[in-house]
Structure 1
Amino acid sequence: MLMRETPVFIDGPVGQLEALYLDLDEAKGIALICHPNPVQGGTMLNKVISTLQRTARDDGLITLRFNYRGVGASAGSSDMGEGEVDDAQAAAKWLRDKHPDLPMTLFGFSFGGFVAATLGGRLEAEGETLKHLFMVAPAVMRITSVDALPQKGALTIIQPDNDEVVEPQLVYDWSDKLPRPHELLKVAECGHFFHGKLTDLKDLILPRLSN
Protein backbone atom coordinates (compact mmCIF):
# COMPACT_ATOMS: atom_id res chain seq x y z
CA MET A 1 0.00 0.00 0.00
CA LEU A 2 1.32 3.41 -0.97
CA MET A 3 1.45 5.69 2.04
CA ARG A 4 1.41 9.39 1.22
CA GLU A 5 1.96 12.29 3.55
CA THR A 6 -0.83 14.85 3.89
CA PRO A 7 -0.06 18.59 3.71
CA VAL A 8 -1.19 20.34 6.89
CA PHE A 9 -0.80 23.74 8.52
CA ILE A 10 0.01 24.05 12.21
CA ASP A 11 -0.51 27.10 14.41
CA GLY A 12 3.00 28.28 15.22
CA PRO A 13 4.32 31.03 17.52
CA VAL A 14 4.46 33.60 14.69
CA GLY A 15 1.82 32.18 12.34
CA GLN A 16 1.14 29.05 10.35
CA LEU A 17 3.76 26.34 9.89
CA GLU A 18 3.71 24.30 6.70
CA ALA A 19 4.03 20.58 7.38
CA LEU A 20 3.66 17.06 5.97
CA TYR A 21 1.90 14.50 8.14
CA LEU A 22 1.67 10.75 7.75
CA ASP A 23 -0.84 8.84 9.86
CA LEU A 24 -0.68 5.06 10.16
CA ASP A 25 -3.05 2.44 11.48
CA GLU A 26 -1.70 0.53 14.47
CA ALA A 27 1.36 2.78 14.69
CA LYS A 28 3.86 2.02 17.41
CA GLY A 29 5.03 5.59 17.89
CA ILE A 30 5.28 9.13 16.55
CA ALA A 31 8.26 10.90 15.01
CA LEU A 32 9.00 14.61 14.56
CA ILE A 33 11.72 15.48 12.02
CA CYS A 34 13.64 18.79 12.08
CA HIS A 35 15.28 20.10 8.91
CA PRO A 36 18.68 21.78 8.30
CA ASN A 37 19.75 25.42 8.16
CA PRO A 38 16.81 27.54 6.92
CA VAL A 39 18.98 30.40 5.61
CA GLN A 40 21.14 28.07 3.53
CA GLY A 41 18.33 26.37 1.66
CA GLY A 42 17.29 23.82 4.28
CA THR A 43 13.65 22.70 4.07
CA MET A 44 11.48 19.76 5.09
CA LEU A 45 12.00 18.37 1.56
CA ASN A 46 15.77 17.99 2.02
CA LYS A 47 16.78 14.50 0.88
CA VAL A 48 18.23 13.53 4.27
CA ILE A 49 14.99 14.63 5.94
CA SER A 50 13.02 12.62 3.39
CA THR A 51 15.17 9.58 4.16
CA LEU A 52 14.57 10.01 7.89
CA GLN A 53 10.83 10.27 7.29
CA ARG A 54 10.73 7.12 5.18
CA THR A 55 12.84 5.23 7.70
CA ALA A 56 10.49 6.18 10.54
CA ARG A 57 7.49 5.28 8.39
CA ASP A 58 8.95 1.90 7.51
CA ASP A 59 9.33 1.14 11.20
CA GLY A 60 5.66 1.89 11.82
CA LEU A 61 5.93 5.45 13.14
CA ILE A 62 3.49 8.25 12.41
CA THR A 63 5.60 11.13 11.06
CA LEU A 64 5.51 14.90 10.97
CA ARG A 65 8.04 17.09 9.19
CA PHE A 66 7.62 20.84 8.94
CA ASN A 67 9.16 24.06 7.66
CA TYR A 68 10.49 26.53 10.21
CA ARG A 69 9.29 30.12 10.20
CA GLY A 70 10.14 31.90 6.96
CA VAL A 71 10.66 28.68 4.98
CA GLY A 72 8.26 27.64 2.22
CA ALA A 73 4.71 28.59 3.18
CA SER A 74 5.55 29.00 6.89
CA ALA A 75 4.92 32.50 8.24
CA GLY A 76 7.52 34.78 9.76
CA SER A 77 11.25 35.12 9.17
CA SER A 78 14.21 33.00 10.21
CA ASP A 79 15.52 33.42 13.74
CA MET A 80 18.37 30.88 13.54
CA GLY A 81 17.99 29.91 17.17
CA GLU A 82 15.31 29.72 19.80
CA GLY A 83 12.61 30.74 17.31
CA GLU A 84 13.04 27.53 15.33
CA VAL A 85 12.95 25.53 18.57
CA ASP A 86 9.69 27.33 19.40
CA ASP A 87 8.35 26.24 16.00
CA ALA A 88 9.40 22.64 16.65
CA GLN A 89 7.72 22.76 20.04
CA ALA A 90 4.45 23.85 18.42
CA ALA A 91 4.77 21.01 15.91
CA ALA A 92 5.48 18.51 18.70
CA LYS A 93 2.42 19.70 20.62
CA TRP A 94 0.23 19.30 17.52
CA LEU A 95 1.51 15.77 17.05
CA ARG A 96 1.23 14.88 20.73
CA ASP A 97 -2.33 16.24 20.94
CA LYS A 98 -3.36 13.95 18.08
CA HIS A 99 -1.63 10.92 19.58
CA PRO A 100 -1.52 11.31 23.36
CA ASP A 101 -0.48 7.75 24.16
CA LEU A 102 2.25 6.92 21.62
CA PRO A 103 5.99 7.21 22.42
CA MET A 104 7.78 10.07 20.67
CA THR A 105 11.04 9.97 18.71
CA LEU A 106 12.85 13.09 17.51
CA PHE A 107 15.11 13.38 14.47
CA GLY A 108 17.27 16.36 13.56
CA PHE A 109 19.72 16.86 10.71
CA SER A 110 22.50 19.48 10.84
CA PHE A 111 20.93 22.69 12.26
CA GLY A 112 17.94 20.48 12.93
CA GLY A 113 20.12 18.41 15.26
CA PHE A 114 20.45 21.47 17.49
CA VAL A 115 16.69 22.10 17.20
CA ALA A 116 15.69 18.51 18.00
CA ALA A 117 18.11 18.22 20.94
CA THR A 118 17.00 21.52 22.48
CA LEU A 119 13.36 20.64 21.89
CA GLY A 120 13.93 17.28 23.57
CA GLY A 121 15.18 19.04 26.69
CA ARG A 122 12.16 21.34 26.71
CA LEU A 123 9.73 18.47 26.27
CA GLU A 124 11.36 16.46 29.04
CA ALA A 125 11.05 19.46 31.36
CA GLU A 126 7.32 19.41 30.60
CA GLY A 127 7.03 15.74 31.54
CA GLU A 128 7.54 14.06 28.16
CA THR A 129 9.81 11.00 28.12
CA LEU A 130 11.30 10.60 24.67
CA LYS A 131 11.86 7.14 23.30
CA HIS A 132 14.79 8.15 21.10
CA LEU A 133 16.64 11.23 19.85
CA PHE A 134 18.62 10.95 16.61
CA MET A 135 21.11 13.74 15.86
CA VAL A 136 22.45 13.44 12.30
CA ALA A 137 25.56 15.50 11.41
CA PRO A 138 24.41 17.81 14.21
CA ALA A 139 25.38 21.47 14.58
CA VAL A 140 26.63 20.87 18.12
CA MET A 141 28.37 24.25 18.18
CA ARG A 142 24.93 25.80 18.59
CA ILE A 143 24.21 23.85 21.78
CA THR A 144 25.43 26.12 24.55
CA SER A 145 24.89 23.65 27.40
CA VAL A 146 24.53 19.87 27.55
CA ASP A 147 21.93 20.52 30.24
CA ALA A 148 19.64 21.62 27.39
CA LEU A 149 19.48 18.03 26.13
CA PRO A 150 16.99 15.43 27.34
CA GLN A 151 18.53 13.15 29.94
CA LYS A 152 16.24 10.16 29.46
CA GLY A 153 15.54 7.93 26.47
CA ALA A 154 18.05 6.72 23.90
CA LEU A 155 20.40 9.13 22.11
CA THR A 156 22.14 8.29 18.85
CA ILE A 157 24.58 10.66 17.11
CA ILE A 158 25.42 9.88 13.48
CA GLN A 159 28.38 11.78 12.05
CA PRO A 160 29.90 11.57 8.53
CA ASP A 161 33.69 11.27 8.64
CA ASN A 162 34.15 13.62 5.66
CA ASP A 163 31.62 16.25 6.69
CA GLU A 164 32.40 19.53 4.92
CA VAL A 165 29.82 21.58 6.84
CA VAL A 166 30.09 20.42 10.46
CA GLU A 167 33.66 19.66 11.50
CA PRO A 168 33.63 15.94 12.43
CA GLN A 169 36.20 16.31 15.22
CA LEU A 170 33.99 18.94 16.84
CA VAL A 171 31.19 16.38 17.06
CA TYR A 172 33.53 13.65 18.29
CA ASP A 173 34.93 15.91 21.02
CA TRP A 174 31.42 16.99 22.01
CA SER A 175 30.38 13.35 22.21
CA ASP A 176 33.40 12.49 24.36
CA LYS A 177 32.43 15.16 26.88
CA LEU A 178 28.72 14.36 26.89
CA PRO A 179 27.98 12.94 30.36
CA ARG A 180 24.73 11.14 29.53
CA PRO A 181 24.71 7.68 27.90
CA HIS A 182 24.62 7.79 24.10
CA GLU A 183 25.87 6.11 20.95
CA LEU A 184 28.17 7.74 18.39
CA LEU A 185 28.17 6.25 14.89
CA LYS A 186 30.81 7.39 12.39
CA VAL A 187 30.03 7.03 8.68
CA ALA A 188 33.18 6.47 6.64
CA GLU A 189 33.78 8.18 3.29
CA CYS A 190 30.64 10.26 3.71
CA GLY A 191 29.98 13.99 3.35
CA HIS A 192 27.47 16.16 5.18
CA PHE A 193 24.56 15.49 2.83
CA PHE A 194 25.10 11.71 2.65
CA HIS A 195 25.55 11.69 -1.14
CA GLY A 196 25.47 8.02 -2.12
CA LYS A 197 25.09 7.05 1.54
CA LEU A 198 21.37 7.55 2.22
CA THR A 199 20.78 3.80 2.24
CA ASP A 200 23.59 3.45 4.78
CA LEU A 201 21.91 6.09 6.94
CA LYS A 202 18.62 4.20 6.83
CA ASP A 203 20.39 0.94 7.64
CA LEU A 204 21.97 2.53 10.73
CA ILE A 205 18.72 3.96 12.04
CA LEU A 206 16.17 1.24 11.33
CA PRO A 207 17.45 -1.43 13.76
CA ARG A 208 17.81 1.19 16.49
CA LEU A 209 14.19 2.22 16.03
CA SER A 210 13.12 -1.39 16.37
CA ASN A 211 14.88 -1.91 19.70
Structure 2
Amino acid sequence: MARQLIKTTREDATGFHKPKKAARESILKPLDENAVNAFTQKRQQVVEPPRPAAEMQSEDAVSTEGTPAPAPNDDRSPVTPKDTARTSNPADEKEAAPDAAVELVDLVVPPRKRNSTTLSITLRLRVLERHVEPLTKLQSSGVDVQSIMRSAFNQLSKVTFEPRYVAQVAEASGAGGWSLRTTVGVKPETLQAIQAQVRGGATAPRSKLLLGQVEPAWFSSLDQTIKDFMK
Protein backbone atom coordinates (compact mmCIF):
# COMPACT_ATOMS: atom_id res chain seq x y z
CA MET A 1 0.00 0.00 0.00
CA ALA A 2 1.48 3.33 -1.01
CA ARG A 3 2.35 5.75 1.79
CA GLN A 4 0.44 9.01 1.83
CA LEU A 5 2.39 12.23 1.91
CA ILE A 6 2.04 14.43 4.95
CA LYS A 7 0.40 17.67 4.02
CA THR A 8 1.57 20.89 5.68
CA THR A 9 -1.12 23.28 6.56
CA ARG A 10 1.07 26.06 8.03
CA GLU A 11 4.32 27.85 7.35
CA ASP A 12 7.68 26.24 8.06
CA ALA A 13 8.71 27.02 11.66
CA THR A 14 12.19 25.54 11.58
CA GLY A 15 13.82 28.80 10.61
CA PHE A 16 16.19 27.27 8.07
CA HIS A 17 14.84 29.46 5.31
CA LYS A 18 15.69 32.66 7.21
CA PRO A 19 19.03 34.40 6.39
CA LYS A 20 21.77 34.42 9.08
CA LYS A 21 22.72 37.66 10.80
CA ALA A 22 26.32 38.88 11.01
CA ALA A 23 28.27 38.04 14.23
CA ARG A 24 28.44 40.71 16.93
CA GLU A 25 31.59 42.78 16.99
CA SER A 26 33.93 42.25 20.04
CA ILE A 27 33.91 44.98 22.65
CA LEU A 28 37.54 44.18 23.76
CA LYS A 29 40.20 46.65 22.69
CA PRO A 30 43.45 45.45 21.12
CA LEU A 31 46.38 44.80 23.54
CA ASP A 32 48.61 47.84 24.12
CA GLU A 33 52.24 46.66 23.95
CA ASN A 34 53.58 49.91 25.46
CA ALA A 35 51.55 49.37 28.60
CA VAL A 36 52.84 45.81 28.94
CA ASN A 37 56.46 46.98 28.62
CA ALA A 38 55.94 49.69 31.23
CA PHE A 39 54.44 47.19 33.70
CA THR A 40 57.38 44.81 33.19
CA GLN A 41 59.98 47.54 33.85
CA LYS A 42 58.14 48.65 37.00
CA ARG A 43 58.06 45.08 38.34
CA GLN A 44 61.82 44.67 37.78
CA GLN A 45 62.49 47.85 39.76
CA VAL A 46 60.44 46.66 42.74
CA VAL A 47 61.93 43.15 42.92
CA GLU A 48 65.70 43.75 43.19
CA PRO A 49 68.19 40.97 44.03
CA PRO A 50 69.79 41.16 47.53
CA ARG A 51 73.18 42.78 47.61
CA PRO A 52 76.25 40.71 48.59
CA ALA A 53 77.34 40.74 52.25
CA ALA A 54 80.80 42.07 51.34
CA GLU A 55 79.26 45.11 49.67
CA MET A 56 77.10 45.83 52.70
CA GLN A 57 80.09 45.54 55.08
CA SER A 58 82.12 47.95 52.96
CA GLU A 59 79.28 50.47 53.06
CA ASP A 60 79.05 50.15 56.87
CA ALA A 61 82.77 50.76 57.16
CA VAL A 62 82.52 53.90 55.04
CA SER A 63 79.65 55.22 57.15
CA THR A 64 81.64 54.55 60.36
CA GLU A 65 84.67 56.35 59.11
CA GLY A 66 82.57 59.34 58.15
CA THR A 67 81.07 59.67 61.63
CA PRO A 68 83.11 62.07 63.83
CA ALA A 69 84.41 60.67 67.14
CA PRO A 70 83.25 62.37 70.38
CA ALA A 71 85.50 65.03 71.82
CA PRO A 72 87.76 63.80 74.68
CA ASN A 73 87.04 66.85 76.90
CA ASP A 74 83.30 66.52 76.64
CA ASP A 75 81.91 66.65 80.19
CA ARG A 76 78.46 65.56 79.20
CA SER A 77 77.46 62.15 80.56
CA PRO A 78 76.12 59.63 78.08
CA VAL A 79 72.38 59.38 77.97
CA THR A 80 70.94 55.93 78.61
CA PRO A 81 67.56 55.22 77.06
CA LYS A 82 64.85 54.60 79.59
CA ASP A 83 63.63 51.48 77.94
CA THR A 84 67.09 49.83 77.92
CA ALA A 85 68.32 50.91 81.40
CA ARG A 86 67.81 48.14 83.99
CA THR A 87 68.77 47.99 87.67
CA SER A 88 70.33 44.70 88.74
CA ASN A 89 68.28 42.94 91.41
CA PRO A 90 69.93 40.08 93.34
CA ALA A 91 66.53 38.46 93.88
CA ASP A 92 65.86 38.41 90.14
CA GLU A 93 69.29 36.94 89.45
CA LYS A 94 68.63 34.22 92.05
CA GLU A 95 65.35 33.33 90.43
CA ALA A 96 66.86 33.30 86.96
CA ALA A 97 69.77 31.08 88.00
CA PRO A 98 69.12 27.41 87.19
CA ASP A 99 68.75 24.94 90.03
CA ALA A 100 71.92 23.16 91.07
CA ALA A 101 72.17 19.68 89.58
CA VAL A 102 71.46 16.96 92.15
CA GLU A 103 74.30 14.48 92.28
CA LEU A 104 73.07 10.89 92.45
CA VAL A 105 74.87 8.30 94.48
CA ASP A 106 74.83 4.54 94.36
CA LEU A 107 72.80 2.58 96.88
CA VAL A 108 75.14 0.78 99.26
CA VAL A 109 73.78 -2.28 101.04
CA PRO A 110 75.86 -4.16 103.63
CA PRO A 111 76.84 -7.59 102.37
CA ARG A 112 75.02 -10.58 103.78
CA LYS A 113 76.81 -13.76 104.60
CA ARG A 114 75.22 -16.60 102.70
CA ASN A 115 76.12 -20.21 103.16
CA SER A 116 75.17 -21.92 99.94
CA THR A 117 76.09 -25.29 101.45
CA THR A 118 73.21 -25.19 103.96
CA LEU A 119 69.70 -26.47 103.23
CA SER A 120 66.65 -24.79 104.76
CA ILE A 121 63.98 -27.25 105.95
CA THR A 122 60.67 -26.43 107.63
CA LEU A 123 59.76 -28.52 110.70
CA ARG A 124 56.33 -28.87 112.29
CA LEU A 125 56.65 -29.17 116.04
CA ARG A 126 53.61 -31.01 117.42
CA VAL A 127 52.09 -31.30 120.89
CA LEU A 128 51.51 -34.64 122.61
CA GLU A 129 48.26 -35.99 123.91
CA ARG A 130 49.26 -35.25 127.50
CA HIS A 131 49.60 -31.56 126.59
CA VAL A 132 46.04 -31.13 125.32
CA GLU A 133 44.27 -30.95 128.68
CA PRO A 134 46.46 -28.27 130.30
CA LEU A 135 46.57 -26.24 127.08
CA THR A 136 42.76 -26.34 126.87
CA LYS A 137 42.44 -25.05 130.45
CA LEU A 138 44.86 -22.22 129.74
CA GLN A 139 43.01 -21.30 126.57
CA SER A 140 39.65 -21.18 128.41
CA SER A 141 41.19 -18.76 130.91
CA GLY A 142 42.20 -16.38 128.12
CA VAL A 143 45.78 -17.46 127.44
CA ASP A 144 46.84 -17.78 123.81
CA VAL A 145 48.14 -21.30 123.13
CA GLN A 146 50.45 -20.06 120.37
CA SER A 147 52.09 -17.69 122.85
CA ILE A 148 52.80 -20.65 125.14
CA MET A 149 54.34 -22.63 122.28
CA ARG A 150 56.49 -19.72 121.11
CA SER A 151 57.72 -19.18 124.64
CA ALA A 152 58.68 -22.86 124.88
CA PHE A 153 60.51 -22.72 121.56
CA ASN A 154 62.47 -19.60 122.57
CA GLN A 155 63.86 -21.50 125.56
CA LEU A 156 65.39 -24.14 123.31
CA SER A 157 69.08 -24.04 122.58
CA LYS A 158 70.27 -24.01 118.99
CA VAL A 159 69.95 -27.44 117.41
CA THR A 160 72.98 -28.85 115.60
CA PHE A 161 72.06 -31.89 113.54
CA GLU A 162 74.32 -34.91 113.62
CA PRO A 163 74.78 -37.34 110.72
CA ARG A 164 72.74 -40.07 112.39
CA TYR A 165 69.09 -41.03 112.25
CA VAL A 166 67.00 -40.55 115.42
CA ALA A 167 63.39 -41.75 115.44
CA GLN A 168 60.63 -39.43 116.58
CA VAL A 169 59.18 -39.68 120.08
CA ALA A 170 56.77 -42.62 120.10
CA GLU A 171 53.89 -40.80 121.83
CA ALA A 172 50.56 -39.98 120.27
CA SER A 173 50.05 -36.47 118.98
CA GLY A 174 47.46 -34.25 120.62
CA ALA A 175 44.01 -34.03 119.08
CA GLY A 176 43.81 -30.27 119.51
CA GLY A 177 45.59 -29.57 116.22
CA TRP A 178 48.13 -27.26 117.82
CA SER A 179 51.57 -27.05 116.26
CA LEU A 180 54.44 -24.66 115.68
CA ARG A 181 56.34 -24.32 112.41
CA THR A 182 60.01 -23.35 112.27
CA THR A 183 62.79 -23.39 109.67
CA VAL A 184 66.16 -25.00 110.41
CA GLY A 185 69.40 -25.31 108.48
CA VAL A 186 71.23 -28.56 107.80
CA LYS A 187 74.28 -29.40 105.74
CA PRO A 188 73.65 -31.49 102.62
CA GLU A 189 76.21 -34.12 103.61
CA THR A 190 74.55 -34.50 107.03
CA LEU A 191 71.14 -35.03 105.42
CA GLN A 192 72.60 -37.53 102.93
CA ALA A 193 74.18 -39.49 105.78
CA ILE A 194 70.83 -39.68 107.57
CA GLN A 195 69.03 -40.74 104.39
CA ALA A 196 71.55 -43.53 103.87
CA GLN A 197 70.64 -45.00 107.28
CA VAL A 198 66.90 -45.28 106.52
CA ARG A 199 65.27 -47.66 104.09
CA GLY A 200 63.85 -45.44 101.35
CA GLY A 201 65.42 -42.45 103.02
CA ALA A 202 66.17 -40.72 99.67
CA THR A 203 62.43 -40.38 98.99
CA ALA A 204 61.28 -39.88 102.61
CA PRO A 205 60.17 -36.41 103.83
CA ARG A 206 63.29 -34.60 104.98
CA SER A 207 61.53 -33.04 107.95
CA LYS A 208 60.63 -36.52 109.28
CA LEU A 209 64.30 -37.50 109.14
CA LEU A 210 65.28 -34.54 111.34
CA LEU A 211 62.43 -34.26 113.87
CA GLY A 212 63.81 -37.11 115.99
CA GLN A 213 66.77 -34.91 117.01
CA VAL A 214 64.53 -31.96 117.96
CA GLU A 215 61.44 -33.44 119.63
CA PRO A 216 62.96 -34.59 122.97
CA ALA A 217 64.21 -31.09 123.81
CA TRP A 218 61.03 -29.52 122.43
CA PHE A 219 58.65 -31.61 124.53
CA SER A 220 60.72 -31.04 127.65
CA SER A 221 60.64 -27.26 127.14
CA LEU A 222 56.89 -27.34 126.43
CA ASP A 223 56.22 -29.25 129.67
CA GLN A 224 58.10 -26.69 131.72
CA THR A 225 56.46 -23.72 129.98
CA ILE A 226 52.96 -25.13 130.59
CA LYS A 227 53.77 -25.50 134.29
CA ASP A 228 54.97 -21.88 134.43
CA PHE A 229 51.69 -20.62 132.88
CA MET A 230 49.59 -22.80 135.21
CA LYS A 231 50.99 -21.09 138.29
Give the TM-score of the pair, scaled to structure 1: 0.22
> Which fold has the larger relative contact order, with Cα–Cα distance below 8 Å and residues 6 or more apart in sequence?
2
Give the TM-score of the pair, scaled to structure 2: 0.20
Q: As a proportion of its length, which structure holds more strand?
A: 1
Q: Which has the larger radius of gyration?
A: 2
